[in-house]
Structure formats: C-alpha cells, structure tokens
Amino acid sequence: MRIRAAVSIALVAGTVATAQEVTFDRLLHADREPHNWLTYSGDLAGRRYSLLTQITPANVRNLELQWVFQTRGPAEPTEKFEATPLVVDGVMYTVLAPNHVVALDATTGRLFWMYSPRLSPLARVCCGRVNRGLAVLGDTLFMGTIDGHLIAIDARIGKPIWDVAVSRPELGYSITVAPLVIRDKVIVGPAGGEYGIRGFIAAFDAKSGKEVWRFNTVPGPGELGHDTWPANSDAWRHGGGSIWVTGSYDAELNLLYFGTGNPGPDWNADPRPGANLYTDSVVALNPDTGALKWHYQFTPHDEFDYDATQVPVLADIEWQGRSRKVMLWANRNGFWYVIDRATGEFLRGKPFVRVNWAEGIDETGVPKRVLNATPAGTLVYPNNQGATNWYSPSFSPRAGLFFIPTWMDTYSTYTKGPAEYKEGNQYVGRFPTMTMPALRTGPGNVNTRTPQEGWGAIQAFDAKSGELKWQFKMTDVTDSGILSTASDLVFAGGREGYFFALDARTGAQLWKGSVGGQVSAGPMSYAVGGRQYVAIAAGSALFVYALRQ
Amino acid sequence: MAKPIALIVLAAAIAAAQEHGYTPADIENGARLYQSSCAGCHGPGGDMVPGTDLQTGQFRRATTDAEVIRIIQSGIPGTTMPPSSFTETQAGSIVAFLRNAATAGRGGRGGAAVKTGNAATGKTLFEGKGACATCHRVGGTGPRLAPDLTDVGLVRGPDELHRKMIDPSALVRPGNRYVEATTRRGAKVSGRLLNQDTFTIQLLDSNERLVSLSRSDVQTFTFVKESPMPSYRDKLTSGELDDLVAYLLTLKGLRP
C-alpha cells in the first residue's frame, strides 16, 4: 500500500486524471472546489457561475482550442447535443444524444469508456432524442433515458449498477433532464408534455434505485390543487406538467425547486377549464418527503406552450433595504420574475422581450391576460418556443447581474384545433405557426429572416433594480446556456455556430471561436493541474478551450 | 500464446471478407443486442424460426451487410419480423455478431456440446471455493479490475466459459488486457488498458482509478502476457466447472 500511495502522489502531480468519491457535502459546497463541475448548473443554486479566474477579460483573446470530442456517427437533426459535462478531479463525464455516456480525460479528451444502454424502440419524444446530462454521487453516475428509465452507472468502469423503469415510454414518458442528487436521493421527472402525460417529480434511493417519494405535478382527486381542473372530467389524467430541466436546492431552507411544463393539450385549452395547477409553475418541495411547501404559477391556463422548464436561479440580494433569499426566473412567457424562495411570494415580474398576450402582471403575481387561442388564429408575442426556454441563464453574485439567453421579437399564430387523447399519440390541439424553426435548421438556407421576424440576444439585467444593463445582439436566436465567471466573463453561443466571451460588466465581445454547428447546450468551466478550461457542446461535438501556453 | 494470434488472424480474415471490419467490441455489442432483442424469436443459436438459421452466414433475403442491416431496421413486411429502432451502427454490430458466429462457430449456440450443471451450486462456488468474486464484479458488487461479469451470460457461450476457466491466458479479450508502465519519474502504473493512441494511454489502474498517461512521460510500457486469472483445471472438479458455467450463463445484465 505504501508503494501505491507514493504512485498516486506522483500521478496527481503528473499528467494523470484520478476520480475521487463525490459526497453530498461536496455537491453542497461546490464553491470549495471550483476546479470541478459536479452538477448540471455547477452549483445547487442553479447559477452556472464559475469561481475560476485564470481566464480574464484581459487575456481571453488568447483562448485556444485544446481538444474536440466527436459524437459517433452523424447526429440526426433531432439528436442535439444538449448535455452539460460533469468534471470530477480530472475526469469528464458527459452524454452524447440520445443516451451514450462517456468518461474522458478532461485535459486531452481521450476516452476512458463509453456506455450505451439498449433503448426501447417504443420511446417517443416530441422534440429531439436528447439528454441534458448526468448527476454524480459517490462513484456512481445517474442518467435518465429517452425510454423513461433511470440508470445508475459505475463511474470507474462505465457499467450499469441498477436500471429502473420510471415511466412508460409507449405513452410518451421520457427522461431528458439531468438528475439532481439531494443527500441520498436522485431526483428526476418525465418529459412528454405533448403526449398527454401526467407529470411528476420523483426521488429514488441512490443505492438501490427504489422510488422513495413522488409529487404529482398534476394533482389527482383528493390532492391539493385538483380543483383547478374541471370536475367530472379525466382531463387531469393527461394534464401534462412535464419535468425536463434540472431544479435547484436551498440547504438552509431545505427546499427543492423545480419548474414544470405546459398543460396538455398544449394549444387547445377547452378540455381543461381552470388554472391547471401545477403546470407552468415552480414548486418548492421538501426533498426528504416530496411534500409541497409552496408553488407559484407563471402562466395559469396556458394555451401558448409556455413551459416553466427553466433552471431556478437562487440569489441573495438586497430587496427594499434588507437581504432577501430570492429566486430569479426568466420565463418562456416573456416575463422575468423575482420570487421570495422561502415563501413563494411574488416580488416582481417584468417583460424582457416584446409581449402581447398579457398587459403586465398584477401585484399578486397573476398575469393580466388579454389574448387567447382562437379558431381564426391569434398572433402572440413571444412565439411558441418562448422568450427563452430550457437554456440555462446565469447569475453573477459579484456583478449582481442576471444573464438571459433571449429570443427577441418572435411571434406565433395560435389556431385552436381539435385535440383528442389517444395513448402514445401527440395530444396538442394544433401546432402554431412560427417564423423560427423550433429545432436546429435542416437543409436549405440557414437564416434569411428580417429583424422583424425575430433575433437573438444575451441580455444582462440588474437583479436588484430590474434594469437592463446591456444586450449582446445576434442575427439568429440562441439555444445556448450562459456561463458567467468570477473574473467578469460571460460565455455563450447560438444557432449561428459561434462560441464567444463577453465582458460581464458591459456586454462587449472579447473573443469568439467558430464551432461550425448550433450551440444547444450550456457552457461550463473546470481546471486540471492549475489550468482553466471552458467547454461547450455544439453541433455533434464537444469543444474545450484554454489559454495558449 | 499461439491461440490469441490465431484469433487475431481469424478476425482479420473476417474483416477482409466483409465490407466492414468488425472489431471485437462490435461483435460483443452485437451479441448483447442479439440476445436481448432477437433471441426471443430466433433463439439463442439463431435457428428457432423454422427455415431460418442466422448463424450459417447465409441469409435468404440478403447477401451484403447493408442488406441485412436494412432488414434488421425495416423488418420484413408480411412476416413476423418487425421493424426496429436500431441505428445503422447497432444493426451493423448485430451483423458483426452473426457473421462472426458463422465463421468462428461461437456465439450463443457454440457450447451446445458442453454439459451444463447446477446454477445455484455454481453461484456458491463463484462466491466461495472458486473465489471468483474476489476479482470479478457482478451487478455492481465486487472489484473492478477483472472483467465485469454482470452480463457474461449474454455474450459468451458455455464452451468458451469452460475453456476460459481451464486455460485463462489462452483467450484474453482486447478489452481485458493488462498493462504495466513506468513513468520517467520512476512511478509504476499498472492496470487494465482502456484505450491508447500514439500520444496517450488510458487505463483503470490497480487502485481502480481512471488514469491517463502521456507517452512522452512514459519510459516503459508493456502488455502483461499471462492472465492474472488462475487456471481451475486442478482446483475444481469437472462437475464443479459445469456448475460454475451454469451460473455464469444466468448472468444476463440489467435489461436482458
């Protein structure tokens, strides 16, 4: 053993990557080890904020591509590379669409192992055979699959440890969300809001895969909130409320936050009069029991597919003279919100794009709705993909700024059509028309739209005052998440195929790299051997940058 | 060491005979996919559908790999052969498995001649007298350095398992090769090779850690020729070996 110990010291000092056990304490205090990226958002507060400062506004122009990892085989347009990698002590773990897990040397991109579960041919997904990433606890990785399984994988050898069927793929239940680990539980929920699913958030024992609790995002008879669904109707059974973006956690309050998806059917609300809780909402749950502490619904009785599937961003800011634990939330419906995360109290809601479906939000937090879908068609801003969507925002506590990947000035025409539930079929109403393609561009011209038909931006808002600080404009929209750093940098990309760095204080563009494909993932940063790296998935490959040596 | 070389030559011959070169990994993945998705109808040996024998290398409706892949993906209309959601790569690996089984006489059927014993007794031997569990991992329990046997029953036939226990060094799969390296600083690293290229080496070291070495930092690098697994020729009786094989054949992974 003495020899082994000596070897391991030499290895750590050399070129060697070693994986250590990841305890929940490490996840909770991710700020103590900024060289690692242990959760989807980099911390449990959902901030996607790196404390690494080697790369600065002054030297970022010297960023240089270090390595690229290609996914195997040509990716289909629907197999977008949406995962954020994890990095644990020099080893990177990520997921290639739809569910291929890889372990890579984080300094060279060389492959340690790859794991590809056999997926059920019954899997059906509305909007891409995608996966947004992994969770880690101990030396086990956790992945949801498009056929509705949750799989625990040995991080050392890439072999499955347990594999549980969470939900039925033939009914449109899939798991695309990166799981969230709280203490000894792995938390996920199903996507499938276009298939008439009934959503839930469920916790599984990390050791055994046994389900510990389940919170129904569409309450059934006897559950609180069921009265927001029509009486004497089965509408709630197909009421949606999907889960497909990772939540956040406040250890002091012991509250878990998740955003929920659209009600079903998406675009014809006739079968479901009522507010349709807890769709398009944020729910605050006790992570030990799944009990609901509070909820806030962004879009009651939605007809425009405005999922609240965004990462809840937890920030402590000064609010009317005192420090307050809040949640920042840029919603698909065009408003960005400040919510008290202890109580769920609505504090502020302001549009961050052109919005015409509501004339603001009243002081109780209810949108002043003015438009509905009609058989003749209603033109609505923002469009069906939303003012933003699942793309991670970022919060820099140092700059006090909230950064939002934004689709500016987009619109859809919503024409109410028939909706009939049939198992495994889409249950939607009628698809709205859009000038922007929802997925990545197929063959043909890429972007020939006028600015009036929509454009993209990275926007920075002062979390405290709500004021727009700056806007970085792009001709095309963006499906990229945002990373901010403690050295006042902001990293993001877009559909145009660039990955770029901005000055967090001014929005000035400081550097860009061409990645030759759409960015549909969030950037992250890590360090190995004292060297800082920034990683972004784009097209069908993962790109990793560091300063020129 | 004659046998592994013969096998490599054989694999090369198969590759040359087909449009694609099959890697051992393709064949192994194909075996898993076949056993989990095809064996239900076609049987473990590929001959359960009357008039169809998949392990002869001859297909009634297809000649080239591309044609077999198309049938796997699209099914055969008007028959009970359904379409599948396999990608071309996955379907290709099933073809690799079938072609390899035809040439090498291995695969699910290969061991029909080997008598199999009592799986429950085999499990006891695996964990006790045989001490297999001291090196091998099954279902997330056990060390990681030796091959994980969680789904060995899907990918290996009884005769091969039997041979492996008698003569462990005769057949070491490329994924189970052990290497030793000395770095320029004098550190010794050993473990199971995961990947290598002209500039780097990846392995699972003897402490079960993922290690990546730069060749420029490596002074010596050698493959360990002898398998660390002991021969059971004189350690277990013939009946006990049969029991052990019977147990291993029950290990079908998490999604059998």
pLDDT of residue A12: 38
Binary contact (A14, B37; C-beta < 8 A): no
Q: Is residue A308 part of a domain?
A: yes
pLDDT of residue A77: 61
**The architecture CATH gives domain B178-223:** Roll (2.30)
Percent of chain A surpassing pLDDT 70: 94
- Alpha carbon distance A366, A15 (integer Å): 56
**CATH fold for the domain made of B2-104:** Cytochrome Bc1 Complex; Chain D, domain 2 (1.10.760)
Q: Is a pLDDT exceeding 80 seen at residue A479?
A: yes
Q: Is residue A437 part of a domain?
A: no
Q: Is a pLDDT exceeding 90 seen at residue B125?
A: yes
Binary contact (A19, B209; C-beta < 8 A): yes
B206: chain A residues, CB-CB within 8 Å: 4
Domain that holds residue A81: 16-427+455-547
Model confidence over A160-169: pLDDT tens digits? 999 999 999 9
Q: Is residue A206 part of a domain?
A: yes
**Residue bearing tokens 């030559």:** B9
ipTM above 0.95, yes or no: no
From A16's Cα to the closest Cα of chain B, the distance in A is 5
Model confidence over A351-406: pLDDT tens digits? 999 999 999 999 999 999 999 999 999 999 999 999 999 999 999 999 999 999 99
Q: Is residue A443 part of a domain?
A: no
Average pLDDT, chain B: 82
Under the banding of pLDDT at 50, 70 and 90, the label for residue B122 is: very high
Q: Is residue A289 part of a domain?
A: yes
Binary contact (B88, A73; C-beta < 8 A): yes
Location of each CATH 1.10.760.10 domain in chain B: 2-104, 119-172+229-249
Q: Is residue A9 part of a domain?
A: no
> Among all residues of chain A, which has the CA nearest to that of B182?
A7
Q: Is a pLDDT exceeding 50 seen at residue B7?
A: no
Model confidence over A112-131: pLDDT tens digits? 999 988 888 888 888 888 99
Model confidence over A63-112: pLDDT tens digits? 999 999 998 655 556 678 999 999 999 999 999 999 999 999 999 999 99
Please give the average per-residue pLDDT across A184-199, as a whole number: 97
**CATH fold for the domain made of B119-172+229-249:** Cytochrome Bc1 Complex; Chain D, domain 2 (1.10.760)
Binary contact (A16, B211; C-beta < 8 A): yes
- Alpha carbon distance A40, A87 (integer Å): 10
Q: Is a pLDDT exceeding 50 seen at residue B29?
A: yes
Q: Is a pLDDT exceeding 50 seen at residue B12?
A: no
* Preceding amide of A98 cis, omega within 30: yes
Listed in order, strand segments (DSSP E) in A312-419 are: 313-319, 322-330, 335-340, 346-351, 358-361, 367-369, 378-380, 394-396, 401-408, 412-414
pLDDT of residue B115: 63
Of residues B33, B85, B207, nearest to A8 (C-beta): B207
Q: Is residue A438 part of a domain?
A: no
Of residues A11, A118, A151, nearest to B33 (C-beta): A118
From A7's Cα to the closest Cα of chain B, the distance in A is 6
Binary contact (A112, B194; C-beta < 8 A): yes
Percent of chain A surpassing pLDDT 90: 86
Please give the average per-residue pLDDT across A489-513, as a whole number: 97
pLDDT of residue B154: 83
Binary contact (B204, A72; C-beta < 8 A): no
Residues contacting A188, CB < 8 A, separation 6+ = A144, A150, A166, A175, A177, A179, A180, A201, A202, A204, A243
Helices B88-104 and B65-74 pack at an angle, to 10 degrees, of 120
Q: Is a pLDDT exceeding 90 seen at residue A339?
A: yes
Q: Identify the CATH number of the domain in which residue A318 sits.
A: 2.140.10.10
> Among all residues of chain A, which has the CA nearest to that of B89?
A73
Q: What's the distance, CA A5 to chain centroid?
A: 40
Q: Are A144 and A187 in contact (CB under 8 A)?
A: no
What's the number of domains chain A is made of?
1
From B203's Cα to the closest Cα of chain A, the distance in A is 7
Q: Is a pLDDT exceeding 80 seen at residue A334?
A: yes
**Residue A280: which region, alpha, beta or left (left: phi > 0; alpha: psi -120 to 50)?**
left
Q: Maximum CA pair distance of chain B?
A: 67
From B27's Cα to the closest Cα of chain A, the distance in A is 15
Could you list the active site residues of A? 305
pLDDT of residue A20: 64
Residues contacting A467, CB < 8 A, separation 6+ = A461
Q: pLDDT: is A510 or B159 the higher one?
A: A510
Of residues B89, B189, B195, nearest to A7 (C-beta): B189
Q: Is residue A171 part of a domain?
A: yes
Location of each CATH 2.30.30.100 domain in chain B: 178-223
- Alpha carbon distance A15, A94 (integer Å): 21
pLDDT of residue A9: 34
A108: chain B residues, CB-CB within 8 Å: 200, 212, 214
> Among all residues of chain B, which has the CA nearest to that of A208?
B140
Model confidence over A213-258: pLDDT tens digits? 999 999 999 999 999 999 999 999 999 999 999 999 999 999 999 9
Q: Maximum CA pair distance of chain A?
A: 78
